[in-house]
Chain A
Amino acid sequence: MFDLEPTEEQQLMVQTARELAKNEMDPAAHDADEAAKLPEGFLKKSWELGLACPAIPEKYAGASMDRSAVTGAMILEELGAGDASMAFAMQSPAAVAYPVLDYGTDLQKELVLRACTAAEFPKLSAALMEPYYDFDPTMLRTTALRSGTNYVLNGAKCLVPNGSTADSFLVYAREGGSGFDNVSAFFVQKSLPGVTVSAKEKNMGLNALDTVTLTLTDVAVSPETKLGGPAGCNFERIMSYGRIAQSAIAVGVARRAYEHSVSYAMERKTWGQPIATRQAVAFMIADMRIELDAARLLVWEAAWHLDKGEKATKESYLAKMVVDEMVLKVTDDAVMVMGGHGFIRENPVERWLRNGRGFGTFDGLAMV
């Protein structure tokens, strides 16, 4: 029966994430963005809370919680409301752990899942995006061609989170023609010949997030490095999880911008009255709220399909489409609500707009 009440477990996780966002992320976000660096000790501290991949089974020393995209979306919204850079950074191990949990061989599980439950933040990252305007997960330019028993990888990946410190990358590459089915993922060590890791990328936003461009030139890897072994993985489903995760973070960014706009509009006065009493402002904020609520429901619904074991390619794609448009509009309106002050970097709306613009240009940058 239709129900939108989160479970107690979900409420607890949301609470934990919310506190982290409020106490550690939001207050540090401005300086981190300016310094283009995560706050000192942030990854370690957030890692200890166990929010990144709580579904890793006990067998690998994990928390063994339900593998739920809905729960994941709820958590990521909170983290996104804290700060998008930090949210992507702290959650990035999930983008390796969960595909391994779902499709990995026993050996891969043993190695990766153990690393993702260790005390240290894992030095693993996933490399999916490519630096082309028409980036298309169903037609990756990065290829993996058989050569004898090995695979040879060629291509370029961008926006690889925590890339400067990672020493192993899960690289998505196309083995054949177009379509999700032709995509596989390979574990590529940074130390391999042909692997080049760029300096930290400089983007419009997400400055505190360490992302790199990874270039692969005739990188030879063994068949054992292929995610899932010969059976491979269900890349279509991985993309759905990714799109939901990324959208949930965007919903969080938008929510924070909305909440900020509400309180600012009630305080700021022109001609003696709060600007919130002017319809032009009030209606803009009402619209922010309407679109925000709508987008969140689309994300949850898509996630719910995955949790039921169903395919959610269309649902997650449409949710992301709506969310990407929404987060840009809402963060842009948030700047407008603050007028000239919104243009000043001291005010967070300026950063939220730069971060908000990013979502429509990324695909599957996080994972639930």
Chain B
Amino acid sequence: MINFQHGDLLNNLSAAVEQIAREHMRPFSREVDEHEHEINPDSYINTMYEVLKATGGASNSPVMGAKEGGDKKRRTGNVTSVVFIEKMAWGDCGMYLATPMPLLGGAAVGAAGTPEQKLKFMGRFKEGKPKWAAMAITEPGCGSDSGAVTTTATLEGDSWVLNGEKIFVTAGKRAVEDSEGFVVVWATVDRKAGRSGIKPFLVDHHTPGMKVTKLEHKHGIRCSDTAVLVFDNCKIPKENLLGSAEVKPTGDSKGFKGVMATFDATRPPVAASAVGVGRAAVEYTHEYLAKQGVAPRYGIGRNKLTAIEKDLMMMEAKVKASWLLTLKAAWMSDIGEPNNLEASICKCKAGRDMVAVCQKAVEILGPEGYSRKHLVEKWMRDAKIGDIYEGTQQIQKLVVARRIFGYSREQLA
């Protein structure tokens, strides 16, 4: 039955997350943005880590396994997860990306890991000090075409030896230098095999041969470290390969697709983080205008609305539309429906529209919006990343279109 309401348990938990966002994120937003790489949002990180440890949430991100209601048949992890993420990103998207939990790396282990790998790499998030995990696919020469990675993995006795350079690794430094985390590195075991030769490898923190050589200075989400990782004869145990080592004949990319399926689960969370930022901007704009005595007149004849009213209402509607699409995609994975199409739809729409929403918010506040006195300009900078990473807007559209037409990547490139 159509229902847009969450259960009491989820509502209570998300209220708790919102409280953390209010108390441990927002007050530090400006400061961490202004001091990129200089200060850590410790208040948030430490508070969140304790919460995550206590609820077991840190070990199986991005699906933070809370069961909702009494319905055992239906999983609720994906919906729960996007609800939490939206709240955290509403607090501060950069800080959310610095949340001590396995994020993307964890999603990969969760999807393709053996029980031993899960225990070894995820178990650590239940104890001790805050930890991070990262995912390294992008290279200087390839981003959207993730099938073109050139980093190599060569089997030498009982070890894989990695060589290559990864860029734009979110939480890369926190994962491998600042904590006892790990990074999932995508490398090819056989260049001739193309996409089917590409495998993900689990690389533990402080592994010799792996180095953080640079931290990027960014437009937004400055509190999240974006690292360059260089692998120079970096040796890891043979059992750190995620999934099967078998290289299928050229053209057969099943193994690769298996790993790519991870992204069906992670696109709604990215959409959720974008929505959180958009909602922050809309709410702020509302409050700001209310203080100026401007209250949007919902319901009146539309040609009587002022330009500001119209813009504000459209912003609000866009945030809600993106959010409903995100919930739909997450709900579909909860009920075990394939959601490849819906995951790309929500990511595309949220990524693109939240940028527009935040840009409008700056416009509506005028010079006040452009000023760093208010967070609106920061949210605009933060929102842009949602349009880019985990597959750009254009790549999402490609996925959507391929699904609609039933085309392969060769038919629609």
Measured CB to CB, the nearest residue on chain B to A300 is B2
Central interface residue in A1, A7, A134, A360, by most chain B CB within 10 Å = A1
User: CA–CA, A208 to B193, complex, Å?
Assistant: 61
> In the complex the two chains form, what is the Cα distance from A180 to B301 in whole Å?
11
In the complex, what distance in Å separates the CA atom of A273 from the CA atom of B317? 38
Per a CB cutoff under 8 Å, which of B301, B327, B400 touches A136?
B301
Q: Which of A2, A3, A6, A262 contacts B404 (CB 8 A)?
A: A262
| Other-chain contact of B299, A7, A134, A180 (Cβ < 8 Å) | A180
A297: contacting residue among B328, B394, B397, CB under 8 A: B328
Collect the chain B residues with CB atoms within 8 Å of residue A16's CB: none
Q: With a CB–CB cut-off of 8 A, which chain A residues contact B345?
A: 289-290, 293
Q: Which residues on A sit within 8 Å (CB–CB) of B324?
A: 294, 297-298, 301
Closest A residue to B323 by beta carbon equals A297
Among B71, B298, B314, B400, contact of A1 (Cβ-Cβ < 8 Å): B71
**Given A70-B2, A321-B314, 12 more pairs with CB closer than 8 A:** A1-B7, A2-B3, A4-B2, A136-B304, A138-B300, A262-B404, A276-B407, A290-B349, A297-B324, A297-B325, A301-B324, A313-B299
Closest to B2 in A: A70
**Contacts A2-B327, A3-B331, A301-B320 given: A290-B79 contact, CB under 8 Å?**
no
B307 contacts A by Cβ under 8 Å: no
Does B292 sit within 8 A of A, measured CB to CB?
no
Nearest neighbor of B327 in chain A, beta-carbon distance: A2
Residue of A with least CB distance to B296:
A314
The A/B interface has a contact count, at CB < 8 Å, of: 144
**Which residues of A are found within 8 Å of B280, using beta-carbon distances?**
none
Q: Is A286 an interface residue (CB 8 A)?
A: yes
CB distance from A365 to the nearest CB of B (A): 14
- The answer, yes or no, to whether B219 is at the interface (CB within 8 Å) is no
Interface residues of A (CB under 8 A from B): 1-7, 10, 70, 133-139, 180, 236, 239, 262, 265-266, 276-277, 279, 282-283, 285-287, 289-291, 293-295, 297-298, 300-301, 304, 313-314, 317-319, 321-322, 360, 363
Q: Is the interface of B mostly helix, strand, loop or mixed?
A: helix
**Nearest Cβ in chain B — how far from A124, in angstroms?**
25
User: Which of A139, A294, A319, A363 is the most central at the interface, judged by chain B CB atoms within 10 Å of its CB?
Assistant: A294
Supply 24 A–B pairs (Cβ within 8 Å), ascending by A: A1-B10, A3-B331, A4-B328, A4-B331, A5-B335, A6-B1, A6-B2, A134-B303, A276-B412, A282-B397, A282-B398, A282-B405, A283-B397, A285-B404, A286-B400, A289-B345, A289-B400, A290-B325, A294-B322, A294-B324, A294-B349, A298-B324, A322-B318, A322-B321
Minimum Cβ distance to chain A for residue B393 (Å): 10
Name the A residues within 8 Å of B335 (CB-CB). Answer: 5
Contacts of B314 in A (CB 8 A): 321-322
Q: Mark B385-398, 1 if CB is under 8 A from A, else 0.
A: 00000000010011
Measured CA separation A3–B335 after assembly (Å): 10
Q: How many residues of B contact A (CB 8 A)?
A: 49
Interchain CB contact under 8 A, A286 and B404: yes
Report if B308 contacts A (CB, 8 A). no
Docked Cα-Cα span, A283 to B413, in Å, equals 12
List which B316-369 residues lie within 8 A (CB) of chain A.
316-318, 320-322, 324-325, 327-328, 331, 335, 342, 345, 348-349
| A39 and B149 alpha carbons, distance in the complex (Å) | 61
Q: Using A286-B400, A289-B404 as known contacts, say yes or no to A321 and B331 having CB atoms under 8 A apart.
A: no
Q: What is the CA–CA distance of A304 and B5 in the complex, to the nearest angstrom?
A: 10
- One digit per residue, 1 when the CB lies within 8 angstroms of any chain A CB and 0 when it does not, for chain B 5-21 equals 11100100000000000
- Which residues of the other chain, B, contact A282 by a CB distance below 8 angstroms? 397-398, 401, 405, 412
Report the Cα distance A293→B321, complex, angstroms: 9
* Minimum Cβ distance to chain B for residue A314 (Å): 4
- Which of B5, B321, B407 lies in contact with A294, CB distance below 8 A? B321
Cβ–Cβ contact B401 & A2, under 8 A: no
- A289-B345, A290-B348, A298-B320 given as contacts; is B69 within 8 A of A1 (CB)? yes
Quick one: given A6-B2, A134-B301, A294-B349, are A277 and B397 in contact (CB under 8 Å)? no
CB neighbours (8 Å) of B76 from chain A are 1
The answer to whether B257 has its CB under 8 Å from any CB of chain A is no
Residue contact B299 to A317, C-beta cutoff 8 Å: yes
Interface presence of B74 (CB below 8 A) = yes
* Option from B300, B317, B318, B411 in Cβ contact (under 8 Å) with A277: B411
Query: Which residue of chain B is the closest to A8 with respect to CB atoms?
Result: B1
Other-chain residue from B4, B74, B303, B405 in contact with A133 (beta carbon distance below 8 A): B303
CB-nearest residue of chain A relative to B1?
Answer: A7
- Any A CB within 8 A of the CB of B68: yes
- CB-CB under 8 A from B6, the residues of chain A are 1-2
B234 within 8 A of A: no
Expressed in whole angstroms, the minimum distance between the Cβ of B65 and any Cβ of chain A is 15
9 residue pairs, one from A and one from B, having the closest CB atoms: A136-B301, A282-B401, A297-B324, A294-B321, A286-B400, A318-B317, A314-B298, A286-B401, A286-B397
Expressed in whole angstroms, the minimum distance between the Cβ of B299 and any Cβ of chain A is: 5
Contacts of A137 in B (CB 8 A): 299-301
Cβ contacts under 8 Å, A70 to chain B: 2
By a CB distance below 8 angstroms, the chain A residues around B375 are none
Task: State in angstroms the CA–CA spacing of A321 and B309 once bound together.
Answer: 12
Tell whether, in the assembled complex, residue A314 and residue B299 are in contact, meaning their CB atoms are under 8 Å apart: yes
**Distance in angstroms between the alpha carbons of A297 and B411 in the assembled complex:** 31
A277 contacts B407, C-beta separation under 8 Å: yes
Q: How far is the CA of A279 from the CA of B302 in the complex (A)?
A: 35
Give the nearest-CB partner of B297 in chain A.
A138
A266 and B397 form a contact (CB under 8 A): no
Contact of B304 among A134, A285, A304 (CB under 8 A): A134
A138: which of B3, B7, B301, B394 is its contact (CB, 8 Å)?
B301
Name the distance in Å between A13's Cβ and chain B's nearest Cβ.
13
In-complex Cβ contact of B317 among A139, A283, A319 (8 A): A319
B313 at the interface (CB under 8 A from A): yes
Q: Among B5, B317, B400, which residue has its beta carbon within 8 angstroms of that of A322?
A: B317
Alpha-carbon distance between A133 and B303 when the two chains are bound, in angstroms: 7
Q: Which chain A residue has the least Cβ–Cβ distance from B314? A: A321
B298 surroundings in chain A (CB, below 8 A): 313-314, 317-318
